[in-house]
Chain A
Amino acid sequence: MALADVCGLKTNQLKNSFLSDFGGSSTHLLDDALTSTTNFTVPYGIDPVESLKEFTNPKSDVKIHFDHGTTTLAFKFQHGVIVAVDSRATAGPSIESQTVKKVIEINPYLLGTMAGGAADCAYWERVLARQCRIYELRNKERISVAAASKLLANIVYNYKGMGLSMGTMICGWDKRGPGLYYVDSDGERMSNNIYSVGSGSVYAYGVLDSGYRYDLSVEEAIDLGRRSIYHATHRDAYSGGVVNLYHMKESGWEFISQTDVFDLHYQYKAEKEKK
């Protein structure tokens, strides 16, 4: 095929999806993406692992460049979890959007963040939302953050090596209190009090770690989250736009604010000058 040759793709033998359908039920009829959401039919003649190596290898002939610029952070404290994200999307050196929603509202008491491939995060977190709702209906109680993050981690592990790019933080409040898990497309799943993901995370961690205490008040925590994202957007070229901030409480999440980093820059500058 001409396009395949131009892209340098090596076509293999017929290979269909080897993943079994887990979680959802499927009839013996058509198993396509419409009726069976956890099962993908891989296009014929393509071995995903081999062909996707072309995209991730910088020396390859394929010039499509996936960009993973972003800053997202979340931290647990005595009053719940603060989730703060930027909103910039880049394609190489071009800013494609300053208004991306990088917090995914899975359900009223679970939030997921988006870092890496936007489509990967949005799609699989929607699959997670569907799975969490079915859990709720079958067990008559909300799913725990640990279980929800495990569901997601196990789903993406099936696609390990096939080019999924996803670094997400699953945040919620369940009977064990505030919950925060980091899940990524390598199959990693960890829990801790503070996480930051993305190209700007190094800068965010600096501010976050220096200002963090478990016993912060709600206002102090919100300010810390906002400030950390701002500093990341200031130094990281691939982060910017607005800071979207959420607070996860026992009663569920609440959207706190959307602030342009441009405004924050002059606000913090003025604060420094006042001292």
Chain B
Amino acid sequence: VNTFSPEGRLFQVEYAIEAIKLGSTAIGIQTSEGVVLAVEKRVTSPLIEASSIEKVFEVDDHIACAMSGLIADSRTLIDRARVEAQNHWFTYNAKMSVESVTQAVSNLALQFGDDDADPGAMSRPFGVALLFAGIDNKGPQLYHMDPSGTFIQYDAKAIGSGSEGAQQALQDTYHKSMTLKEACKSALTILKQVMEEKLNSSNVEMGTVTKEKKYHMFSKQELEDVIKDI
């Protein structure tokens, strides 16, 4: 399960990355004012209570996380991120940096296998990719983490089913002097392009992390205000 193939590949990890290509699209954009995360909720039935679908989470008041793939797998990772951030505060009386949180979570990624060496470990990798968005003393940052545990900092990143088209669109529209407001508008515009359903305030989730307002989840009204400008 976790052994190398003759060509030097870890198949389980590659298969996990395939699983994410089926997940709902998530976009993250970093600006000098803060970072924005926007996710397609993918409400598959009008009977679903849309507010119960949650794909953007608070990790601490200065870090948020969006996910794509097997959402249930992300619950363990999010909780791990939260506990690590609090342990850090407990020991060092300081907020954990975005990179450190991401690194702490990535330590879980390759702890899978079917041998007796570690009973209680997972049998398969996590089938979810995460976007960590936060602000620390290095400024606003966005990190992408995949099932291999690799984490890379991005200015703008899209994950999930619409990620190919979205990533290209991000490359065209992103510029370093973007304001957070422009980034929010851009994120929703690109989501609209790649989403199958018509974008509205109930089938997307958006959150920002800024220095002043910290972690902030957009309410239905606030989403509508951004949507009407598109």
Main secondary structure of the interface of B (DSSP, over half): helix
Is A2 an interface residue when CB atoms closer than 8 A count as contact?
A: no
Chain B residues within an 8 Å CB radius of A34: 91
Q: How large is the interface on B (under 10, 10 to 19, 20 to 34, 35 or more residues)?
A: 10 to 19
Residue of A nearest to B217 (CB): A140
Shortest beta-carbon distance from B49 to chain A in Å: 15
Q: In the complex, which residues 107-146 of chain B have their Cβ closer than 8 Å to any Cβ of chain A? A: 107, 118, 120
The answer for the CA separation of A253 and B59 in the assembled complex, in Å, is: 25
Known: A137-B58, A137-B59. A35 touches B82 (CB 8 A): no
B97 nearest CB across to chain A (Å): 17
B60 and A137 form a contact (CB under 8 A): yes
Given contacts A25-B83, A137-B60, contact A127 B118 (CB under 8 A): no
Residues on B with C-beta less than 8 A from A37 are: 87, 90-91
Q: Does the CB pair A138–B82 fall under 8 Å? A: yes
Task: Using CB atoms, name the residue of chain B closest to A129.
Answer: B90
List B contacts of A130 (CB < 8 A): 86-87, 89-90
Total of A-B residue pairs, C-beta within 8 Å? 31
Q: In the complex, which of the residues A27, A34, A127, A130 has the most CB atoms of chain B within 10 Å of its own CB atom?
A: A130
CB of B123 to closest CB in A, whole Å: 16
Type the 1/0 row for B78-93, where 1 means its CB is closer than 8 Å to any CB of A: 0110110011011100
- Chain A interface size, as a band, is 10 to 19
Query: Contact at B86–A28, with CB atoms within 8 Å?
Result: no
Q: What residue of chain A has the Cβ atom nearest to residue B93's Cβ?
A: A126
Contacts of B91 in A (CB 8 A): 34, 37
Complex Cα–Cα for A138 and B91 (A): 21
User: Could you tell me if A24 and B60 are in contact, using CB atoms closer than 8 angstroms?
Assistant: no
Asked if A134 is at the interface of the complex by the 8 Å CB criterion, the answer is yes
Chain B residues with CB under 8 Å of A127's CB are: 90
In the bound complex, residues from chain A placing their C-beta under 8 Å from that of B118 are: 28
Confirm or deny: A133 has a beta carbon within 8 angstroms of a beta carbon on chain B.
yes
A residues 118-167 in Cβ contact with B at 8 Å: 126-127, 129-130, 133-134, 137-138
Q: Which residues of chain B are near A129, meaning CB under 8 Å?
A: 90
How far apart are the CA atoms of A27 and B104 in the complex, in Å?
11
Contact assessment for A133 and B86 in the assembled complex, using a CB-CB cutoff below 8 Å: yes
> In the complex, are the beta carbons of B87 and A138 less than 8 A apart?
no
Q: Quote the shortest CB–CB distance from A4 to chain B (angstroms).
A: 30
Interface CB pairs A-B, < 8 A, 17: A25-B80, A27-B107, A28-B120, A37-B87, A37-B90, A129-B90, A130-B86, A130-B87, A130-B89, A130-B90, A133-B86, A133-B89, A134-B86, A137-B59, A137-B60, A138-B79, A138-B82
Q: Closest 7 CB pairs between A and B?
A: A130-B90, A130-B86, A137-B82, A25-B83, A37-B90, A134-B86, A133-B86
Given A37-B87, A126-B90, A137-B82, 8 new contacts (CB under 8 A): A37-B91, A127-B90, A129-B90, A130-B90, A133-B89, A134-B83, A134-B86, A138-B82
* Chain A contact residues, CB within 8 Å of chain B: 24-25, 27-28, 34-35, 37, 126-127, 129-130, 133-134, 137-138
